[in-house]
Amino acid sequence: MKWYILFIFLWVSVDLLAQTKRTLTIRVKNESGQPVKNSTVVSEEGESKNAEKDGSGEVILYNQPPVIREYIVKAFDYESKTIQVDLKISNRIIDLVLRKATYNSFEGVDVGTRTKGKDNSSLPVPVDVITQEQLQASSYTELSQILNYQLMYFNSNRQVIADGTDHVDPVSLRGLGPDQVLVLINGKRRHTSSLININNTFGRGSVSTDLNVIPLHSIKRIEILRDGASSQYGSDAIAGVINIVLYDEKNDNDGSDWIWKVTGQGGTFLTNANLNFQNNDKESIVDGQAGVLNLGISKDFGNRNFLNIALMFSSRNPTNRSGMDTRPLLYSSEPTKLANETDASFLQRFSLLQKEDSARAIANGLDRKNTRVGIAEMRIASMMVNGNIGIGDIHNIYYSIQSSQKWGNATGFYRLPRQTSQNNSAVFANGFLPEINSRILDVSANAGIKGNLSSTLTYDISQTYGYNKFNFLIENSTNASIINDNQRSFDAGGLSFKQYTTNLDFSWDVFNKDMSGLQISAGSEYRFEEYGIQSGEEKSWSRQFPDNPLYQGNKNSGVQGFPGFKNTLSRNRNNWAIYVDGEFAFSKDKKTLLQGAFRRENYSDFGTNNSYKLALRHLLIKQDNKLLNLRGSFSTGFRAPSLQQNWFNNESTQNIGGELSRVLTINYDKSSIYSGIINGFGLNDLKPEIAQNYTFGIVGSIDNLTFSADGYWTVVNNRIIFSGVFPTSQPDVKRIVNDATINSIQFFTNAVNTNNTGLDMSVRFNPNWGQFIKIGFMSLANLNRTIVGNNIQASDVINKNSDLKSLLFSNQEKVRIESFVPRSKIMAGFELKVLGRGEEEKLRFNWQTIRFGEVAYGEIEASRESNQVFTPKFISDVSISYSFDKYIKLVVGANNIFDIYPDKQYINSKNNAKNFRDYTGALDNTSNGRIIYSRSATQFGANGRFIFIKFNCVFN
SS (H, E, C) 172-183: EECCCCHHHEEE
Total domains in the fold of the chain: 2
Residues 786, 865 share a domain: yes
Regarding whether 545 and 443 lie in a shared domain, the answer is yes
Alpha-carbon distance values, 120 to 111, 113, 125, 847, 908 (Å): 9, 9, 8, 26, 52
Q: What angle do CA 686, 691, 695 make, to 5 degrees?
A: 165
Q: Are residues 110 and 97 located together in one domain of the fold?
A: no
Among 41-55, 379-393, 515-529, which range has the highest average pLDDT? 379-393
Mean pLDDT, the chain, whole residue set = 87
Count of Cβ atoms closer than 10 Å to residue 229 Cβ: 27
> Which residues, in sequence order, are CB contacts of 932 under 8 Å at separation 6+?
321, 322, 323, 373, 904, 905, 926, 942
Q: Are strands 240-246 and 181-185 parallel, antiparallel or unpaired?
A: parallel
**For residue 338, is it within any domain?**
no
- Would the pLDDT of 261 be above 80? no
Q: Which residues span the domain enclosing 73?
A: 1-101
Q: Specify which residues 881 forms β-bridges with.
A: 844, 891
What pLDDT, on a 0 to 100 scale, did the predictor assign at position 266? 35
Let me know whether 52 and 197 are in one domain: no
pLDDT band at 83 (very low <50, low <70, confident <90, very high): confident
Mean pLDDT of the region 119-133: 87
Nearest CA to 823 among 866, 763, 876, 869?
869
Residues 61 and 209 in one domain: no
Q: For position 701, which CATH number holds?
A: 2.40.170.20
Query: Using CA of residue 739, residue 740, residue 742, residue 748, what is the dihedral sign?
Result: positive
Question: Tell me, what's the pLDDT at 19?
Answer: 52
Residues 126, 42 share a domain:
no
Closest-CA residue to 827 (of 895, 781, 791, 794): 781
Handedness of CA 857, 859, 860, 861 (dihedral sign): negative
Is residue 702 included in any domain, yes or no?
yes
Residue at a domain's end among 63, 80, 101: 101
pLDDT (average), residues 677-691: 91
Is 723 in contact with 807 (CB distance < 8 Å)?
A: yes
Q: Is position 336 within any domain?
A: no
**Residue 13 in this model has a pLDDT that exceeds 50:** no
Beta pairing partners, 945: 264
What's the one-letter identity of residue 803? Answer: D
Contact status, residue 61 vs residue 83, Cβ threshold 8 Å: no
Average pLDDT estimate for 298-322:
89
pLDDT at residue number 247: 86
Contact between residue 233 and residue 242 where contact means Cβ atoms under 8 Å apart: no
pLDDT band per the 50, 70, 90 thresholds, residue 76: low
Residue 6 has a pLDDT of: 43
Q: What is the torsion angle, in degrees rounded to the nearest 10, for the CA atoms of residue 214, residue 763, residue 711 and residue 695?
A: -60
Tell whether 508 and 584 lie within a shared domain. yes
What pLDDT shows up at residue 659?
59
* Percent of the chain surpassing pLDDT 90: 56
In a domain, 249, yes or no: yes
Contact of 648 with 633, CB cutoff 8 Å: no
Q: Residue 135 has what pLDDT? A: 87
- Examine residue 158 and state whether it is found in any structural domain, yes or no: yes
Per-residue pLDDT tens for 605-639? 989 999 999 999 998 887 767 889 999 999 999 99
pLDDT in tens, 188-240: 999 999 999 988 888 899 999 999 999 999 999 999 999 999 999 999 999 99
8 Å CB contact between 178 and 204: no
Mark whether 52 and 178 lie in a shared domain. no
91 CA to centre of own chain: 48
Q: How far is CA 384 from the centre of its chain?
A: 18
Task: Based on the fold, state whether residues 226 and 358 are members of the same structural domain.
Answer: yes
Q: Stretch 688-709: mean pLDDT, rounded?
A: 93
User: Which sign, positive or negative, has the C-alpha torsion 247, 251, 256, 260?
Assistant: negative
What is the model's pLDDT at position 708? 94
What is the C-alpha separation between 456 and 462, in angstroms, rounded?
20
Distance, CA of 926 to CA of 140 (rounded, Å):
29
Confidence of residue 643 (pLDDT cuts 50, 70, 90): very high
How many angstroms separate the CA atoms of 61 and 82, rounded? 16
For 50, what's the count of Cα atoms within 13 Å in the CB-facing half-sphere?
14
Residue among 624, 812, 595, 817 at smallest CA distance from 720: 817
Q: State yes or no: pLDDT of 267 exceeds 70.
A: no
Lowest mean pLDDT among 687-701, 815-829, 855-869: 855-869
CATH number reported for the structural domain that contains residue 14 in this entry: 2.60.40.1120
Can you point out the beta strands (E) in 535-591?
569-586
Give the pLDDT confidence score for residue 956 in this predicted structure.
62
**Which pLDDT tens digit goes with each residue over 138-169?**
888 899 999 999 999 999 988 888 888 989 99
Do 477 and 383 share a structural domain? Answer: yes
**pLDDT value, residue 653:** 61
CA–centroid distance for 548 within its chain: 41
Strands (E), 247-376: 256-264, 271-272, 283-284, 286-302, 305-316
Over the stretch 419-468, which tens digit does the pLDDT of each residue have?
998 998 889 999 999 999 999 999 999 999 999 998 889 999 999 999 99
Q: Which residues contact 806 (CB under 8 A, 6 or more apart)?
A: none
Residue 623 and residue 757 in one domain:
yes
In a domain, 333, yes or no: no
Computed on alpha carbons and rounded to an integer, the radius of gyration of the chain in Å comes to 30
pLDDT, mean of residues 390-397? 90
What would the pLDDT profile of 786-800 be if each residue is shown by its tens digit? Answer: 999 988 998 888 988
**Closest listed residue to residue 188, CA positions, set 252, 242, 133:** 242
Nearest to 555 by CA among 431, 425, 666: 425
pLDDT for the residue numbered 743: 78
Is the pLDDT assigned to residue 269 strictly greater than 70? Answer: no
- Establish if 324 belongs to a structural domain: no
**Domain annotation covers residue 202:** yes
Identify the domain boundary among 68, 101, 134. 101
Same domain? 107 vs 25: no
User: In angstroms, what CA-CA distances link 431 with 62, 162, 452, 887, 919?
Assistant: 71, 21, 68, 54, 21
Write down which residue in 77, 101, 125 finishes a domain. 101
Q: Which residue, 459, 628, 669, is CA-closest to 8?
A: 459
